[in-house]
Amino acid sequence: MQNQSTSQEQATPKGLLQQRLADFDIPQRFKEQGIYPYFREIEGKQGPIVNMDGHDVLMFGSNAYTALTYDDRVIQAGVDALIKYGSGCAGSRFLNGTLDLHTVLEREIADFVGKDEALCFTTGFTVNSGVIPALVGRNDYILYDSRVHASIIDGRRLAQAKQLRFKHNDMEDLERLLQKCKPDAVKLIVVDGVFSMEGDLAPIPELVELRNKYNATLMVDEAHGVGVFGETGAGVCQHFGLTDEVDLIMGTFSKSLASIGGFIATDHITANYLRHNARTFIFSASCSPAATACALEALRILRTETQILTDLWEVTEYALKRFREEGFEIGPTESPIIPLYVRDTEKTFKVTARALEEGVFINPVIPPACAPNDTLVRFALMAKHTHEQVEEAVKRLKHCFLELGIID
Ligand SMILES: Cc1ncc(COP(=O)(O)O)c(C=O)c1O
């Protein structure tokens, strides 16, 4: 496997801080065993097959659900924008960094997800870490699912509001917490629409019911919902027909929209407030012209080519069926994210390394991204994967899982 070198980590620590940091040697230990699974280099475009170290590898570790990252039209849109607008915006949206391209993308995103307005940020991470603290104050509450993405966790850490965590998808637990909140305080409920590691969905209808009953505000992270769920791929809120009842819809351009950047879509009043108060929007440079143009083109393709969603779901259903038939433990996933449970951190790294030797790229998921007993490898599909590629991956992964005694 690439990147197993330990020479840099063996340098002699200088000063107190470096001495303390030198105690962090977990990566070195996994590198010594040849099972370090991070920062693996891909030498080309991200499609169903990628080039690594001169070899073709089946890519099942990507979030490019729509497979538009290597689409010629998306690439050309990026090239054209680079030539027209240059390489960067040299400022934040607030000041000199707003291009007509950003505004067009915002209008089309808002229309796509079904909200009054959208604001485009430089990453999805900065949407969550900027929007959440901007919305709530000292006397308010944030109620969040225990498995939300790290960017939501960091957003709530930056907020001054009281923080209440409810058990994953447990609406009784959420209601119990809502009952504790002061009735006249703002209560912001935040969930992932599709949970990024396990692939299960948030119960949007029940969340909406509680939002209405307790006069709360509901924010749904659609990072893994856009381009995957809903009639036109607008996400799980659309899938449940409840877009109007969800106050804030967050999304990213780094997955189905084949680029980098993120958005928050909401009503006029909230958008106006966030535009002038979300610190990661105001104090960070805007999304580059090429990235913005690629996201816009990917969005337009997604909206016109419904075959993308059809293909994605067809191959997803096939993969779900095959993993179940072959005896893998895949949990209650309902999406193109298929967790293959290992339930042991070292074996999770070992099976990731063995899979790559067998020509299959998958991602290890260990704490804090999951509970200690829930370690898994994450297998994700793209619309352009074929049945043959899935079949080949299932066969090779089964061999690795059997070899390591993960399944029998
Ligand atoms: C659920 C979720 N929210 C937010 C993000 C952050 O998005 P971005 O990659 O655009 O920073 C991710 C990315 O991994 C995610 O999975």
Over residues 186-225, the pLDDT tens digits come to 999 999 999 999 999 999 999 999 999 999 999 999 999 9
Cα–Cα dist 18/2, whole Å = 26
The finding on whether 149 has its CB within 6 A of some atom of ligand 1 is: yes
How many angstroms separate the alpha carbon of residue 356 from the centre of ligand 1?
24
Cα–Cα dist 338/347, whole Å = 18
Q: What average pLDDT does the segment 263-276 reach?
A: 98
- pLDDT, residue 300, reads 98
Residue in 253, 266, 251 with CA at minimum distance from that of residue 292: 253
How many angstroms separate the alpha carbon of residue 255 from the centre of ligand 1?
8
The finding on whether 223 has its CB within 6 A of some atom of ligand 1 is: yes
Ligand 1 atom with least separation from CA of 128: 4
pLDDT at residue 120 is higher than 60 = yes
Cα–Cα dist 373/358, whole Å = 26
| Cβ contact 120:291 at 8 Å | no
Preceding peptide of 372 cis, ω within 30° = no
- Residues 13-39: b if buried by 16+ CB within 10 A, e if exposed: eeeeeeeeeeeeeeebebbeeebbbee
pLDDT at residue 11 is higher than 80 = no
Q: List the structure tokens of 136.
A: 């709530």
Cα–Cα dist 252/131, whole Å = 14
Q: Is 231 exposed, middle or buried (0-12, 13-18, 19+ CB in 10 A)?
A: exposed
Q: What average pLDDT does the segment 289-318 reach?
A: 98
The finding on whether 123 has its CB within 6 A of some atom of ligand 1 is: yes
**Reported confidence tier of residue 293, pLDDT bands at 50, 70, 90:** very high
How many angstroms separate the alpha carbon of residue 203 from the centre of ligand 1?
20
Ligand 1 atom with least separation from CA of 195: 1
Q: What average pLDDT does the segment 306-315 reach?
A: 98
pLDDT at residue 8 is higher than 90 = no
The finding on whether 122 has its CB within 6 A of some atom of ligand 1 is: no
Q: How many CB atoms lie within 10 A of CB 299?
A: 26
The finding on whether 65 has its CB within 6 A of some atom of ligand 1 is: no
**Reported confidence tier of residue 5, pLDDT bands at 50, 70, 90:** low
**Reported confidence tier of residue 306, pLDDT bands at 50, 70, 90:** very high
Which residues make beta-bridge pairs with 352? Answer: none
Q: What average pLDDT does the segment 8-30 reach?
A: 86
- pLDDT, residue 237, reads 98
